[in-house]
Structure formats: structure tokens, C-alpha cells
């Protein structure tokens, strides 16, 4: 996700009538900054440029994908996909069930209290010998001590 100020600068460039490559340059600049700060594992300038162009396409910069034969088919397809993503208004609908899981709301089965209760009651139903064996396997524990 590009930073707000990067998108704003790109929009400003568009308003001023600058070329799409200039608009995309803002995203590339941001990406190079991220690499300098060590925010992700990209190593080369080429990677920064590729990531920046992809972000620009997704943000709606009118940057066409590379011509056939200039890059690998995979890269071209990826760029086409990014252009397509940039044409939409950016909203996508998350599955409600997934959304609930992300927000940490309980859907009845996996609430924190229920899981805790289950974890505490489960060992009590096991035989002592099994509990002792599991305790010995646990990290930072001495065997035979409960």
C-alpha cells in the first residue's frame, strides 16, 4: 500500500500534465526509500523499480504493461493484472467470515475464554502418566517435576 503523500504527489504530477512515467517515479522513489530504511528484503534498484511501477499501476497511474518480447511473460502478465486492479475503484469485498476472524470477534466456537477453558480442562482428562510424559517434553522443564 503506497503512502498517502506519494499518491498525492502522483496526482499533482497528473494535474500538471506530466507523463505517466513521471507520476510512477514518485512510487519508485518511495520504494527506494523503503529499501534504504530496510523495511523489506528487496536488494537491488531493479527490484525497487519493479515494485514501485507495480504500486503505481495499482494506484491508477496510466502506465501500460511492457510490450511483448521486452520482458518475461510472467512479468507482463503481472503488470497487466496490476493495470486491471488500478482501473477499479480500489474497493474489494472481504469475506465476512474472514473479516470477523481478522477483527478477533468470536463466532461462538473460538472465543478466547472458551479456548482457555478447553486448554485447561483437556489435560485433566488424560492419565497421569501421559501428563508426566508431556511435561517432560515441554521446553525449560526438568523431567519428572510437575
Q: 41 vs 111, which has greater pLDDT?
A: 41
Q: How far apart are CA 50 and CA 40, in angstroms?
A: 14
The helix/strand count (H/E) of the chain reads as 7, 0
> Which pLDDT score is estimated for 5?
94
In this structure, the answer to whether residues 69 and 50 fall within a common structural domain is yes
As for how many domains the chain has, the answer is: 2
In this structure, the answer to whether residues 13 and 80 fall within a common structural domain is yes
In this structure, the answer to whether residues 104 and 125 fall within a common structural domain is yes
Is the per-residue pLDDT at 145 higher than 60? no
In this structure, the answer to whether residues 63 and 116 fall within a common structural domain is no
Reported as half-sphere exposure (CB side, CA atoms, 13 A), residue 70 has a value of 8
Is the per-residue pLDDT at 78 higher than 90? yes
Tell me which residue range forms the domain holding 37: 4-87
In this structure, the answer to whether residues 40 and 103 fall within a common structural domain is no
Is the per-residue pLDDT at 138 higher than 90? no
> Which pLDDT score is estimated for 24?
94
Q: 142 in a domain, yes or no?
A: no
Q: 71 in a domain, yes or no?
A: yes
In this structure, the answer to whether residues 64 and 105 fall within a common structural domain is no
Is the per-residue pLDDT at 34 higher than 80? yes
Q: 143 in a domain, yes or no?
A: no
In this structure, the answer to whether residues 39 and 76 fall within a common structural domain is yes
Q: How far apart are CA 34 and CA 28, in angstroms?
A: 10
Q: How far apart are CA 48 and CA 64, in angstroms?
A: 18
All three cell numbers of 125, joined, read: 482428562
In this structure, the answer to whether residues 12 and 47 fall within a common structural domain is yes
DSSP 3-state of 76: helix
In this structure, the answer to whether residues 83 and 12 fall within a common structural domain is yes
Amino acid at each position: 500500500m503506497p503512502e498517502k503523500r506519494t499518491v498525492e504527489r502522483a496526482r499533482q504530477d497528473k494535474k500538471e500534465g506530466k507523463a505517466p512515467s513521471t507520476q510512477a517515479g514518485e512510487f519508485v522513489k518511495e520504494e527506494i526509500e523503503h529499501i534504504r530504511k530496510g523495511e523489506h528484503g528487496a536488494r537491488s534498484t531493479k527490484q525497487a523499480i519493479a515494485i514501485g511501477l507495480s504500486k503505481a499501476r495499482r494506484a491508477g497511474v496510466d502506465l501500460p504493461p511492457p510490450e511483448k518480447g521486452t520482458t518475461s511473460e510472467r512479468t507482463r502478465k503481472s503488470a497487466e493484472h496490476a493495470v486491471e486492479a488500478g482501473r477499479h475503484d480500489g474497493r474489494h469485498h472481504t469475506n465476512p467470515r474472514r473479516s470477523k476472524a481478522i477483527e478477533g470477534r468470536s463466532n461462538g466456537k473460538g472465543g478466547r475464554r472458551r479456548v482457555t477453558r478447553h486448554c485447561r480442562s483437556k489435560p485433566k482428562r488424560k492419565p497421569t502418566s501421559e501428563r508426566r510424559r508431556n511435561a517432560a517434553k515441554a521446553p525449560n522443564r526438568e523431567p519428572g517435576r510437575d
